[in-house]
Amino acid sequence: MEFFLVFSLGIAVSIVGVFIFRPNLFTRPNEDYAMLEAMIEESISELEARQAEIIAEIDEKHRALMKLQEQIIANFLPAHVQSPKVTAVLELMQQGDEVVTIAKKLGLGLGEVQLIAELNKDRKPLAESD
């Protein structure tokens, strides 16, 4: 029994000694992440700037490709070769008519007019490109 008391007392003194000599041993250190946050915010702003540059480049190349497409179409598909149906749909769309109205005026199917409109949405009617 005597040894048990001495042993228990030794453990208690050891535990108290650990808390006295190393008080921060069982606590989390309070680390400051302000520098890391600043670095991350700076990286994000750099990425956003680069993204804007890339989008501008893509838009510029898209415009150039659209001009090239118009030139190719003008060279290889003159106005007299294009279907009169397509020309009529594009002219009515240019005037601001709705798809349903165009279909009724020309006696075409709604899907056909929608297809022509979708395929030619970024292009002027070929009759005007001369």
pLDDT at 23: 74
Other CB atoms within a 10 A radius of the CB of residue 58 amount to: 10
Three-class SS state of 75:
helix
Measured in whole angstroms, the distance separating CA 130 from the mean position of its chain's CA atoms is 37
- The residues spanned by each domain of the chain are 34-76, 78-130
pLDDT by residue for the chain (130 residues), tens digit each?
788 888 898 999 988 888 888 777 767 767 778 888 999 999 999 999 999 999 999 999 999 999 998 888 777 766 555 678 888 888 898 888 888 999 998 999 989 989 888 887 766 544 444 4
| pTM over 0.85, yes/no | no
Other CB atoms within a 10 A radius of the CB of residue 116 amount to: 21
Token pair of 49, please? 């700037």
Q: Which residue has 């898209």 as its token pair? A: 62
